[in-house]
Amino acid sequence: MTTSQDNSSPRPVRGILRKLPTGKKLQFIVFVFVCIVFAVLGLVLAGSQLASAARAYVAGEGMWSKAQKAAAIELQEYGSTRDEKDYQGFLDSLAVPLGDRLARLEMEKPVLLQKPFTVKKVLQAMQQLNVSARS
């Protein structure tokens, strides 16, 4: 009696699959592959979101850097010419870093001490970035 297996002992998956009818085996295999396909699709979606976020960050950083450089150039020109047009160009270029700062400060508000950031304020700051970047 020691050589026979009890029904309560755990069986390997291979033994369980051998005893199943062919139709059930096929259903199990299809189910496994469908799960794999959905897992791969989920990973692709997550990777796509991550790549999109990285591109947006790099684009925003580039806009900020270019606007900061343009503001410094406009301020230097205003310092030498005292032309009001150069000063207005400085203010326009400075709007991008200031809008970025407003959005960042709004998103970095502590949640426990104050109300969490409002999407409306962040979007207003981001719109200020886009409007001043086009001009």
pLDDT in tens, 6-36: 555 566 777 777 888 889 889 999 999 999 9
Q: Identify whether 30 is part of a domain.
A: yes
| pLDDT the model gives residue 100 | 83
pLDDT of residue 75: 92
If one counts the domains in the chain, the total is 1
- pLDDT the model gives residue 44: 97
- End-to-end CA, the chain: 89
Distance CA 32, CA 85 (A): 67
In-domain check, residue 103: yes
Is position 110 within any domain? Answer: yes
The answer to whether position 41 is within a domain reads yes
Is 12 a domain residue?
no
Q: Are 54 and 66 in contact (CB under 8 A)?
A: no
Q: Please say whether the beta carbons of 126 and 103 come within 8 A.
A: yes
Query: Distances from the Cα of 114 to the Cαs of 103, 110, 125, in angstroms?
Result: 16, 6, 20
Render the chain in DSSP notation, one character per residue.
--SSPPTTS---HHHHHHHS-HHHHHHHHHHHHHHHHHHHHHHHHHHHHHHHHHHHHHHHHHHHHHHHHHHHHHHHHHHHH--HHHHHHHHHHHHHHHHHHHHHHHHTS-TTTSPPPPHHHHHHHHHHHHHHHH-
Residue 111: its pLDDT value, please?
64
Per-residue pLDDT, 135: 39
Which regions in the chain score pLDDT beneath 70? 1-11, 111-118, 125-126, 128-135
In a domain, 10, yes or no: no
Domain that holds residue 93: 22-134
Q: Quote the CA–CA distance of 72 and 86 in Å, as a whole number.
A: 11
pTM, to two decimals: 0.55
